[in-house]
Amino acid sequence: MDKDREMAMVADCQNGNKKAMETLVRELQKPVYNAAYRMMGSADEAADVAQTTFLKVFENIDRFDPKYRLFSWTYRIAVNTALDQLKQRKRTKPLEQAPESTMGLPQETTATSQLSAEVQSTLMELSDDQRSVIVLRYFSDCSYQDIGRILELPEKTVKSRLFTARRQMKRKLQEHGVLSL
């Protein structure tokens, strides 16, 4: 979506145009849901995060700053919502294992499905901060600048956090025998 169309859609949403709100959700629900799934590791929780994200978007659309891109602003809300829910999960269910990571995956071959599950499981072993940068970089295709804006971090910190997250991810995948190099 180009910037002009995005701004027109935001203006329509600010005026309470239901069609514009529907379009906004339709355009962004898939990337937001995917990012939420990779953050949460569960289809149900990802749907909850996505729903809460869009409700917050509409609630705060009047305060949208046009110097940002809509997707960047929406991801920021999504990641913060996911982080809040993860904190809540830890507070309320300290002994619970991470949810089954194969949930919500499309039909795949058994080998692909198992690999996806292993990778998702490894993602869930990272710290929330590390997982956030991996998710934004790989599953939301954000640049360092985008990630910095979304997470309110200097680009230098994004770079070092992404480096640390990759190193952790690489080690864990090697321990699990997924990355055999």
Partner 1 sequence: MNDDRALELLSAAADGELGADDRAELDQLLLSSTEARESKAELEALDSLLKGLPELEPPAYLHAQIMARANPTTPPQRPAKFAWLGALVPGAGLRYALAAATGALVAAIFITTGSMLSDPDDVTDLVGTMAPNAASANTDVIDSFAFRDAGFESDVQLERSNGSLFLNVQMSTAAPLDISVDMAGAGLKADAIAQIESDFDLISLVDQALSLRAVGEQRLTILLRRVDDTASAEEAKISLEFSSDGRLLQRGTLTATL
* Contact footprint for partner 1 (CB under 8 A): 18, 21-22, 25-26, 29-30, 33-34, 37, 43-44, 46-47, 50-51, 54-55, 58, 103-108, 112, 115-116, 119-120, 134, 137-139, 143-144, 159-160, 162-163, 166-167, 169-170, 173, 178-179, 181
∠ Cα 143 145 146 (to 5°): 65
Unique residue bearing structure tokens 């959700």: 25
Minimum CB–partner distance for residue 33 and partner 1 (Å): 4
Toward partner 1, which CB reaches closer, 25 or 83?
25
Toward partner 1, which CB reaches closer, 3 or 30?
30
Minimum CB–partner distance for residue 1 and partner 1 (Å): 17
Minimum CB–partner distance for residue 121 and partner 1 (Å): 12
User: How far is Cα 32 from Cα 26, in angstroms, rounded to an integer?
Assistant: 10
Q: Which residues does 34 contact at the CB level (< 8 Å), separation at least 6?
A: 46, 139, 140
Minimum CB–partner distance for residue 103 and partner 1 (Å): 5
Structural contact between residues 112 and 177, judged by C-beta atoms closer than 8 angstroms: no
Count CB neighbours of 126 within 10 A: 18
